[in-house]
Amino acid sequence: MRRKLLPFLFFFLAAVAFAAPDRPSRPPNIVLIYGDDIGYGDFGCYGATAVKTPNVDRLAGEGIRFTNAYCSSATCTPSRYSLLTGEYPFRQKGTNVLPGDAALIIEPGRATLPSLLKHAGYKTGIVGKWHLGLGADKVDWNGEIKPGPLEVGFDYSFIMAATMDRVPCVYIENHRVVGLDPKDPIQVSYKKPFPGELTGPDVKDRSTLKMDRSHNHNDAIINGIGRIGFMTGGKAALWKDEEMADVFTRQALDFIGREKDKPFFLYLATSDIHKPHVPHPRFVGKTPMGPRGDTIVEFDACVGAVLKKLDELHLAENTIVIISSDNGPVLDDGYKDGSNEKVGDHKPAGPLRGGKYSRFEGGTRMPFLVRWPARVKPGVSDAIVSQVDLPASLAILAGQKPDPKTMPDSQNVLPALLGESKTGREEVVLHAQDGGLALRSGNWKYISPGKMREGLGPWKFSVIPEPGLLFDLSSDPGETKDLAAANPEKIRELADKLKTISNNPQQ
Ligand code: NG6
Ligand code: CA
């Protein structure tokens, strides 16, 4: 009997030995740190000097810094939808910025980045901003809040429902609001105020507010700040804005600590640096840029805490850490927080034109860093990649075979992400909810006719006429010279290509 087994044993050992150099014994952990409204120029490693980001810069130095990486859309919900589903947001209705009481927009059961990784044996967790809707219809905030992250692939969830500037201003752990007193039930409405609850128009002396609004954000007043939407009840469960970054960081570190013995995927979607900017007091005044700059420092501290935890647990070597953001930067997005007055020479979108809400490059070209000491050599990559590619690429890395039918726009750009290829995708579709689509193809950039806004808030609105705008990003990264008139064939070719891709999924 023993003799018979020996040849098998030999084969088995040989196979293991052959496989070893390419296959670490355990698949890498993946930590995706997803910032909010952080622009291409907001980190030191992308040229910022007025704000210091030593932890992000350390990660950049130890990994690959991408210069042509995109989110799918110039706002949050559509970018996050793509990041998790591998589908461009414009293919589905209802993927634009959601109110805090919206229903879940990802169909439970469909393949997602976390569900594929879970299938591959990963423990999957989300901590931070969700903003993809909760519940099937009307949510009862006092009962089981589902479907949500746990129904689309996450094993653990500690989230805020929408944004810092929208109600409900509470944390939700798995299916329940954290710290809710059942005697003080929560109700949420995006239509009408609740009798007896303070709202913006009630506040005549605006100096009594922690931060006044510049536009909108005048519904419920929570913690002295006007929000979008109304809520009542849940007083004991309300978040404290200045503690939010610490609360999410703590949850992230706890998740890593709990799951350290298995491969894990952590999607850490930070509250920073979305409005309202309310950094913890220890970060106040850390930059000359006011609260917007100080929340960048707070974001950097969160990155530092995650890296330290990975070091302490000896996990850094075989953990992929990715840092990016969901859309471009904005200065005045509804609060009088001094962002415009104090920005000085800092360029939130670096050399790029436009920011949040824009189809110019500043709206969707993102800081994007990938570190994996066990496999990735440090460097800078000009490969074009999109966050919509992460589901397919990371699932393939984990040994899964994503079905192109269910993740139609997610390309396998793993070789580019790992620095093993200089090229990623050939073209990428970019979206802005009040403008339509744009196409980057090689170094050409085509922006279709439609609405456009200029600036980082307040904005100047105008309309891009036929046949659209055309730029050569290799010589003109700031999109200053429209080449449409001089290149009628090129613009027609790109307009056709954009139409083809938007009508038909690519794979
Ligand atoms: C907009 C809000 C803005 C911000 C944004 C979502 C107004 C006028 N503007 O509708 O303040 O909340 O939605 O930001 O209300 S995002 O980063 O989540 O996409
Ligand atoms: Ca955002």
At 218-264, the pLDDT tens digits run 999 999 999 999 999 999 999 999 999 999 999 999 999 999 999 99
Instruction: Evaluate: CB of 228 within 6 angstroms of ligand 1.
Output: yes
Structure tokens at 308: 């330290």
Instruction: Evaluate: CB of 97 within 6 angstroms of ligand 1.
Output: yes
Mean pLDDT, residues 86-92 taken together:
97
Measured in Å, residue 356 CA sits from the centre of ligand 1 at 10
Q: Which residue is associated with the tokens 């006429």? A: 465
Q: What is the CATH number of domain 26-175+240-420?
A: 3.40.720.10
Question: Using 50, 70 and 90 to split pLDDT, how confident is the model at 507?
Answer: very low
Q: How many residues does the chain have?
A: 507
- State how far the alpha carbon of 421 is from the alpha carbons of 13, 89, 341, in Å: 31, 27, 43
Using the predicted structure, report yes or no on whether residue 17 has a pLDDT greater than 80: no
Query: In this predicted model, which residue has the larger pLDDT, 505 or 135?
Result: 135
Angle at 87 between CA 434 and CA 482, to 5 degrees: 45
Q: What is the CATH number of domain 428-503?
A: 3.30.1120.10
Give the pLDDT confidence of 372-430 residue by residue, as tens digits. 999 999 999 999 999 999 999 999 999 999 999 999 999 999 999 999 999 999 999 99
Give the pLDDT confidence of 339-364 residue by residue, as tens digits. 999 999 999 999 999 999 999 999 99
Using the predicted structure, report yes or no on whether residue 90 has a pLDDT greater than 60: yes
Query: Which of 165, 356, 357 for mutating ligand 1's site (highest number of atoms within 8 Å of CB)?
Result: 165
Q: Whose CA is nearest to atom 17 of ligand 1?
A: 76
Rounded Cα gap, residues 72 and 327, in angstroms: 8
In the chain, what are the domain boundaries?
26-175+240-420, 428-503
Measured in Å, residue 163 CA sits from the centre of ligand 1 at 8
Nearest ligand for residue 364 CA: 2
- Determine how β-strand 264-269 pairs with β-strand 123-129: parallel
Give the pLDDT confidence of 451-480 residue by residue, as tens digits. 999 999 999 999 999 999 999 999 999 999
On whether the pTM is more than 0.85, the answer is yes
Cβ neighbours, 10 Å, residue 487: 15
Percent of the chain with pLDDT over 90: 93
Q: Which residue is associated with the tokens 């509470």? A: 170
Nearest ligand for residue 162 CA: 1
φ/ψ of 410, rounded to 5, equals: -90, 110
Q: Whose CA is nearest to atom 15 of ligand 1?
A: 216
Query: Which of 217, 228, 330, 364 for mutating ligand 1's site (highest number of atoms within 8 Å of CB)?
Result: 228
Rounded Cα gap, residues 224 and 201, in angstroms: 13
Cβ atoms of 380 and 67 within 8 Å: the answer is yes
Angle at 377 between CA 375 and CA 381, to 5 degrees: 120
**What pLDDT score was predicted for residue 22?**
44
Q: Which residue is associated with the tokens 């929208």? A: 166
**What pLDDT score was predicted for residue 25?**
67
Longest dimension (CA), the chain: 90
**What pLDDT score was predicted for residue 26?**
87
Rounded Cα gap, residues 208 and 204, in angstroms: 9
